[in-house]
Amino acid sequence: MIAAQTVSPKDPLWLEKVADPAKHLTTDTMDELYHGWGRALALAYALFWTFALSMFSWTLAWSSGTPWQMMTVLVAWVTLSMYAPLGMSMDPASVSTSCDDLLTELNVQRSELLGDEVTITSWRNTSTR
């Protein structure tokens, strides 16, 4: 993000310092994060919410003869089980937001090139090598 904000698209180092790392981020890093976090979070949601549903059902089934202290503990477990996966989702959501911010910054920087055919042509020539 800092490189995208400091290096001008007209600078010869734009491809090396901004464009190539951005491509690597989308093709490699984000793919690894998707496969690593995506499936794990889906499994965590399923497990935690299944546990919360079962604890809630158990709490309702045994509510008449259970002391209020035990009921409080059971309700706390249900609540914790419902919200734990949401807490685990904060880091991937933050990464996604950062990528959106980077995309916006790249678009802002590249919009300066509208009508600058010399720079665009030199990019095309450099990227085909």
Residue owning tokens 């949601």: 45
94 in Cβ contact with 6 (< 8 Å)? no
Alpha helices in the chain (DSSP H): 2-6, 14, 20-24, 30-33, 39-61, 68-88, 90-111, 117-127
Residues 28-33, mean pLDDT to the nearest whole number = 77
The reported pTM is 0.59
Q: How far apart are CA 110 and CA 123, in angstroms?
A: 12
- Domain residue limits, the chain: 20-127
Q: How sure is the predictor about 46, in pLDDT bands with cuts at 50, 70 and 90?
A: very high
12 pLDDT higher than 70: yes
pLDDT digits (tens, 9 = 90+) for 68-126: 888 888 888 889 999 999 888 888 888 878 888 888 888 887 777 766 665 556 655 66
